[in-house]
Amino acid sequence: MTHFLMKQKLFSLKGVFEVTDEYGNSAYSVVGSWLKVPKYFDVFDGHKKGVARLTHKLWTILPQFYLTVDDLPEEIVIKKQLTFFRPKYHIDGLGITVDGNILDMNFAILKDEQVIGRVDQRWLKMTSTYDITVIEESMTTTVVALVIAIDYIKSQRRAGAATSVN
C-alpha cells in the first residue's frame, strides 16, 4: 500500500502540479497543455519519464477523457454520466469503477469489485489537496491519473458555476 498527496498550485494556467509520496518526495509531476485543443495532461514519474496522458475529448455534452498509460494494453475512457444529485463516472476498460462521494472527492477506485485505491480530499486548504492511497501497486499510475481527470472535471464545473453567477 502506497500513500500519495496531490496538491494543486493556487495560480497555474497550464495545470502544473506535483504528486508526492508519503515522505514528501516527488512521485509524479503533471503538466497540462495551455492554449491547445484538445486539453491534455502529461503525467511524468519521479525520473521525469512520461508514463501517462489524459486527453479531454471535445464536442461531447458531458466531460469525457481518454487515458493512455504506458503499462496498460488498452486505452481507458472516462465519461461523466448525466445525474441530478451526485456526480457519477463511467470508466470503460479494465473493469474499473468509482464508488463513493465524488462530489466531496472521497471515493474508492475498484477493479473487478476489489478496491485498488482510495481518495480523500483534505478540507480547509487554500488549494485542492487529496490523499491518495493505492492498494494495488501495479495500478498506481492509473489511480493517480483517474484522480487528475475527476478533479479537472470538478474544477471545470466550479469555474462554469462561478462564471454563470457573474
* Domain locations along the chain: 2-160
Q: Say what the pLDDT of residue 163 is.
A: 46
Q: Using the 8-state DSSP alphabet, how is residue 12 labeled?
A: -
What CATH number was assigned to the domain covering residues 2-160? 2.40.160.200
Query: Is the full-model pTM beyond 0.75?
Result: yes
- 148: which 3 cell numbers? 487528475
| Cis amide leading into 73 (omega within 30) | no
Phi and psi angles of residue 163, each rounded to the nearest 5 degrees, phi first? -70, -40
Chain center to CA of 149: 3
Give per-residue pLDDT as tens, 2-38: 999 998 765 555 678 899 999 999 999 999 898 888 8
For residue 132, what pLDDT band results from cuts at 50, 70 and 90?
very high
Q: Using the 8-state DSSP alphabet, how is residue 52 labeled?
A: E
